[in-house]
Structure 1
Amino acid sequence: MNQQWITFANAVKELYKKEYVPLHEPTFDEKEVEYVTDCVKSGWVSSVGKYVDRFEKELAEFTGVKRAVAVVNGTAALHIALKVAGVQPNDEVFMPSLTFVATANAASYLQAIPHFVDVSEETLGLDPIKLEEHIKDIGEMKNGQLLNKQTGRVIRAVVPMHTFGHPVDLDPLIELCERYNLVLVEDAAESLGSYYKGKHTGGLGRVSALSFNGNKIMTTGGGGAILTNDDKLADYAKHITTTAKIPHRWAYEHDEIGYNYRMPNINAALGCAQLQKVPTFIEQKRKLTETYANLVSSLDGVTLFKEPANTKGNYWLQSLRLEQTISRDAILEFLNENGVMSRPIWTPMDELGPFQNMPKADLTVTKRLKNSLINIPSTSLEVK
């Protein structure tokens, strides 16, 4: 490995004051201890307690939506978001192939069919121009529904995913959904604190999903949330994520098949403390971006991914784009062996065993990004 990369690795370790730098770690202080201790002392640590209601209220206020429903993880949030949005068995759901597997899994839980489309070089998320071209090629409107001419199935929804916290170009997607009667369900798992044209991600679709896994911009340990501006959808989501139990002081009556997906109170307590710090976390990440921009400027054939126009991203994960002349795997091996944890972007969904036979569009950009994008340490850090 040449001296440029040795210098870069040493600079990252010096930045974090560590001999081994993880990709992303949560940051806690006295506030988390205070809230979690209060929750434990109350005895209400499971799915009932004041912190769940508080977290949902404060999360809705932070993201600018009417309602938030807290659940056990981001995958559960996406599963229920698709369900309440009306996705049925055998429906097709447009989604990027370049995403975390939860996006495709969530549709599969409903016995729906993931339909993979390409992404944009500028956003790393679903490309509305290529999606429209694909719809014109394989789609037809019949009785107010978009059908896939090749399979005969209804195409019900579009699921853009805001990659590494960078918003997708949503306006043309919204227009496309209106024209073809598709439901927009945002996979905002990575984009808490990110804004598209001044609006928080997750608030522009019919419904959306967030993740609060331990490696996200903030964490509840394990957790996620459903966001929506539709009270009826929120009420339904809350009902079926609490086993579809009919409210009663003692009787156990359930009116449909439900899910035990409710976020425990102790996780919500952690979330209440973490949510207060998200603006600070993002400020620190944006400063980190400036620092990395300086470090990366000395690397030949490498660029640091920057937020697209008309957006303000949370920079959850810092991303490097490598020119084709640079071996992605060689860089990953060198960085990981030298104390700087790094990883490739996900294996595209259409290449995974469970999804290889699913319908798909041209995925030229997806394949190119697969071999050229890596993530480097991104923990929130006060950078001077």
Structure 2
Amino acid sequence: MLNKISQFIQCYFDTKDFIPLHEPNFSSTESQMLMDCLDSTYVSTVGANVTQFENEICTFTQSNYAVTTNSGTSALHIALLVAGVEQDQFVITQSLTFVATCNAISYIGAAPIFVDVSLQSLGMCPASLENFLLENAFISEDGACIHKKTKKKISAVVPMHTFGHPSDMNGIQHVCKKWNLAIVEDAAEGLGSQYHGQALGTFGKASALSFNGNKVITTGGGGALLTQDIQIADKSRHLMSTAKVKHEREFIHDQIGFNYRMPNINASLGRGQLSRLEGFLIEKRLLADEYRSLFLQSHYCFVDEPPGCRSNFWLNAVICEGKLHRDSLLDSLEKDNIMGRPVWRPMHLLDMYADAPNLALKNTEYLAERIVNLPSSVKKKR
């Protein structure tokens, strides 16, 4: 089976040269957009492409507002701030995530709490979320969700849509409504995915997208905050622009702000990429179909989109029988000049987050020893 996997990947991408996990795909569309931006001389944080890119993101996701940023982590940091997260509070998230999810929480001086993920979606499990709250939290007289042991406020929940597969947002929303918790979506991997017909990134009070070089579309480096609330959008834009107050002459800042704006040249690349996104999604679904068929009667379990959802299949993945089985697959791919990748080490196993409160993380630890990501790029035209 190992040889069969490598042969399929080499045949699909039509090469025996090194095959990366996910590389960007560019065309003359992006080249022209970039040249037009250079010709305009507006390459920094002032320029028409930023506003146009934000409007186009809104059209694609059906979000009311988008505020572009210099990274997905920046977008998540601001999303947490405008959702009301403050220093010395808790934010509930999943341990099976990229470290940026927890880092953004830590930038505020808040701390993560970890709950388990679902084996089906690889995203936050609503039952684990509710079980943690029932065992470890209470609602105060003023309606705040309070952690019993520390008496600290739990202010938000951050589900992360793993590999672009939608988390169970209905279940998560139901629990958060009962416990008065704001939802901030980490949709860094989720552009183009839908949960029951609704775009990821549009369920929370605010959410974050990423346009890093390895994402479905890229701006080189960049991200965006999505929200349905104009006040949140305005506040986010203000904080990302060093909290500068408009003045005809002087530099006045009314609070500590951040230099998180997306440059115009990055937005020009993003506009070209976004215009091709539908085509990317079609091709990525075709590749997912091929992988699904390849692993149909094997010892590997292909990670598929949850029922009622439409995934972007950012990174295709399989679940192996165990850690040794996983490592054998990774070794075989490496031998054949193909990049494979295990999932991130769970956050509760990293030194800086080892003391974070958590519920039993059985599924997280099971998956961490078994997941392998496989090459998932959109093929280059030859």
Partner of 2:245: 246
Task: Give the match's secondary structure for 1:327.
Answer: helix
State the distance in 1 between where 2:108 and 2:120 align: 31
Partner of 1:128: 126
1:42-81 aligned at under 5 Å gives the runs: 42-81=40-79
**1:294 shift after superposition:** 2.2
State the distance in 2 between where 1:151 and 1:369 align: 30
Closer/same/farther in 2, CA of residues 43 and 325 from structure 1, 3 Å limit: closer
State the distance in 1 between where 2:22 and 2:169 align: 28
Q: TM-score, structure 1 length as denominator?
A: 0.97
Partner of 1:6: 3
State the distance in 2 between where 1:48 and 1:249 align: 16
**1:327 shift after superposition:** 2.1
State the distance in 2 between where 1:174 and 1:188 align: 15
**1:339 shift after superposition:** 1.4
**1:178 shift after superposition:** 1.1
Q: After superposition, what is the alpha-carbon deviation per residue over 1:316-369, rounded to whole angstroms, capped at 9, x for unaligned?
A: 000111113852122212211211100000100000011111111110000000
**1:381 shift after superposition:** 3.1
**Identical positions, percent:** 43
Closer/same/farther in 2, CA of residues 252 and 329 from structure 1, 3 Å limit: same
Partner of 1:193: 192
State the distance in 2 between where 1:139 and 1:197 align: 30
1:265 counterpart = 2:264: yes
State the distance in 2 between where 1:345 and 1:56 align: 31
**1:134 shift after superposition:** 1.2
**1:21 shift after superposition:** 0.8
Partner of 2:110: 112
Q: TM-score, structure 2 length as denominator?
A: 0.97
**1:249 shift after superposition:** 3.2
Paired residue type of 1:207: A
Paired residue type of 2:345: T
Partner of 1:283: 282
User: For the Cα contact (< 8 Å) 1:285–1:379, is it kept in 2?
Assistant: yes
Partner of 2:147: 148
Paired residue type of 1:272: R
1:296 counterpart = 2:292: no
Partner of 2:363: 365
State the distance in 2 between where 1:128 and 1:67 align: 27
State the distance in 2 between where 1:325 and 1:48 align: 49
User: For the Cα contact (< 8 Å) 1:51–1:272, is it kept in 2?
Assistant: yes
Task: Give the match's secondary structure for 2:68.
Answer: strand
User: For the Cα contact (< 8 Å) 2:323–2:370, is it kept in 1?
Assistant: no
Partner of 1:306: 304
**1:251 shift after superposition:** 1.8
RMSD of the alignment, in Å?
1.2
Task: Give the match's secondary structure for 1:332.
Answer: helix
Partner of 2:273: 274
User: For the Cα contact (< 8 Å) 1:350–1:356, is it kept in 2?
Assistant: yes
Paired residue type of 2:12: L
Partner of 1:138: 136
Runs of 4+ in 1 over 3 A off after TM superposition: none
1:85-96 aligned at under 5 Å gives the runs: 85-96=83-94
State the distance in 2 between where 1:22 and 1:286 align: 18
Select between 248-257 and 20-29 the one with higher mean Cα deviation.
Answer: 248-257
User: For the Cα contact (< 8 Å) 1:288–1:381, is it kept in 2?
Assistant: no
User: For the Cα contact (< 8 Å) 1:51–1:268, is it kept in 2?
Assistant: yes
Task: Give the match's secondary structure for 1:152.
Answer: coil
User: For the Cα contact (< 8 Å) 1:13–1:339, is it kept in 2?
Assistant: no
User: For the Cα contact (< 8 Å) 2:25–2:380, is it kept in 1?
Assistant: no
Unaligned runs of 5+ in 1: none
Paired residue type of 1:17: D
Closer/same/farther in 2, CA of residues 237 and 325 from structure 1, 3 Å limit: closer
Paired residue type of 2:133: I
State the distance in 2 between where 1:303 and 1:43 align: 50
Number of aligned residues: 379
Partner of 2:340: 342
Q: After superposition, what is the alpha-carbon deviation per residue over 1:54-92, rounded to whole angstroms, capped at 9, x for unaligned?
A: 001110111111100000000000000000100000110
Paired residue type of 1:356: A
Partner of 2:14: 17
